[in-house]
């Protein structure tokens, strides 16, 4: 299982993400999208601590 840091780093893989019609250069540092990215990353931290999380492989 990857770590939260690995997950966040994986978001900068060249994908093209648009938010409200604008191309987002970096999801992790975008003022709005970073909230969802960090929330998802936190699920990996919970899994590492042995807290059950549905949806993680």
Residue ranges per structural domain of the chain: 4-48
The reply to whether the predicted model has a pTM over 0.85 is no
The whole-angstrom separation of Cα 16 and Cα 18 is 7
SS3 13: coil
> What is the reported pLDDT for 1?
78
**8-56 per-position pLDDT tens digit:** 999 999 999 999 999 999 999 999 999 999 999 998 888 777 777 666 5
Given a contact cutoff of 8 angstroms between Cβ atoms, the answer to whether 1 and 50 are in contact is no
- Bridge partner residues of 24 (DSSP): 17
Q: Which position has the token pair 């648009």?
A: 18
């Amino acid at each position: 299982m990857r770590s939260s840091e690995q997950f966040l780093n994986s978001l900068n893989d060249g994908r093209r993400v648009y938010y409200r019609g604008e191309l987002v250069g970096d999801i992790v540092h975008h003022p709005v999208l970073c909230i969802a990215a960090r929330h998802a990353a936190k699920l990996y931290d919970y899994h590492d601590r042995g807290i059950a999380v549905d949806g993680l492989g």
